[in-house]
Amino acid sequence: MTPLRQRFIQDLQLRNRSPKTVDTYVMHVRNFARHFNESPEQLTGEHVHRYLLHLLHEKKASWAQYNQAVSALRFLYTVTCPSDTVVTRLPYGKRPKRLPLVRSREEVARLLAGVRNPVIAMVLRTIYASGLRLGEALALTPKDIDSGQMVLRILGKGQKERVVPLSSVLLAELRAYWRKVASRSASAPGAKSWLFPGKGKGNKRPLCASTVQRACQRVCQEQGLPRITPHTLRHCYATHLLEAGTDTRMIQALLGHHRVGTTAVYTHVSLAGLRQVRSPLETLPALDQVTAG
C-alpha cells in the first residue's frame, strides 16, 4: 500500500466513514490513478475533468457511480492532498428523480411465502416489518433486539443509530428462527454473533447481500411476480405505513432519512391516497346546465 493510499484511508477513518464508503472511495481514486498511470499527487484539475468525461461518455457510468467518483476525488483533494484549483472543477451530476417501486401487500406476501431458505426468508421478513436497508438487516445481532422496549436498535447510514418498533409477530418469528436455525451456527469464542450468519463455521461473517438479492430474483421468476428487491420491501414498508395513516414525520424517523423531503416521495406512490383524489373533470357542470345558464 502506498503512503498516499494509507493516508487517504486514515483520513476517511478519522471522519468515521463506514468501511463500505472507505472501500468505494479507494476504488474510485485507484481507477483515477490507473487511467493516467500516475500518482494522484501528480495530477491536476484538467486530468480530473478529462477523467469525469471518460466516466460519462466512454464507461457509461450511472449518475450514482459518477457522483461517487466526484465525492471520492473531492475528499482526496480537500483533505488528503489539499488543492483549491482541483476541487472547484468537480461538479456533481444531477441524478434523475424517479419514484420508488412499490408492490401490493399481496405481492409482498407471495414473495415472502416463496423463499425456501429460512435465513433469507427471515431477513426479508425483518426488512419488510421494520423498513430496514439490506445492509442494516444483515448487520443485526441478537443484542440489537430489545424485547423489553419492543424496539430494534439499528446502526444506519453515516453511523447514525436509530430505533424502530419491533412487531410482536416479528419477535415471535425471530425467536423461533433463532432456536431452529441461527443457534446451529454457534460462534467461536470472542466472535460476533450475527443474527443472520453466512455459511461457514464460527459465524464469523453475516449473510452476503448478493445471496439475498439473487434469492429475491429467483422467487419473482418462479412466482411470476414483477421485480421485487430487498430495497423494494423497504419502499413497501414506508408506503403501506403511509396508507395506514402513519404521519410522514414518523416515517422519516423510522427510515432514518435526513430530510423529510426524501420521505415525502412516498405520497406520490400511495395508491390509497391517489384514489382519494377527485379529478376536476368530475366536478364540471353538465353541458345542458351551462347552455341553459
CATH number for position 211: 1.10.443.10
CATH number for position 24: 1.10.150.130
Percentage of the chain lying above the pLDDT 90 cut? 55
What was the pLDDT predicted at 279?
Answer: 67
Same domain, 234 and 116: yes
Q: What residues contact residue 194 under an 8 Å CB cut-off, 6+ apart?
A: 138, 139, 140, 141, 182, 203, 205, 206, 207
| Domain total in the chain | 2
Same domain, 10 and 57: yes
What ranges make up the beta strands (E) of 56-157?
145-146, 151-155
Domain assignment of residue 291, yes or no: no
- Please count the residues of the chain: 293
Domain that holds residue 78: 3-87
Same domain, 109 and 83: no
Give 53-78 pLDDT, tens digit per residue.
Answer: 999 899 988 888 999 999 999 999 99
Cβ-contact 11, 75 below 8 angstroms: yes
Domain assignment of residue 289, yes or no: no
Same domain, 51 and 126: no
Active-site positions? 133, 157, 231, 234, 257, 266
Same domain, 83 and 109: no
Domain assignment of residue 186, yes or no: yes
Q: Mean pLDDT of all residues in the chain?
A: 85
Q: What residues contact residue 111 under an 8 Å CB cut-off, 6+ apart?
A: 103, 124, 216, 219, 220, 223, 225, 228, 233
Q: In the numeric block, which cell numbers belong to residue 175?
A: 425467536
Global pTM value: 0.71
Domain assignment of residue 227, yes or no: yes
- What mean pLDDT is predicted for residues 199-215? 83
Cβ-contact 12, 25 below 8 angstroms: yes
Same domain, 198 and 77: no
Domain assignment of residue 284, yes or no: no
Give 127-175 pLDDT, tens digit per residue.
Answer: 999 999 999 999 999 999 999 999 999 988 777 889 999 999 999 999 9
Domain assignment of residue 251, yes or no: yes
What was the pLDDT predicted at 246?
Answer: 85
- For residue 220, name the pLDDT band (cuts at 50, 70, 90): very high
Which residues, listed in sequence order, are joined to residue 206 by a DSSP beta bridge? 197
Give 227-274 pLDDT, tens digit per residue.
Answer: 999 999 999 998 898 888 888 888 888 888 877 777 777 766 666 666
Same domain, 133 and 73: no
Cβ-contact 223, 114 below 8 angstroms: yes
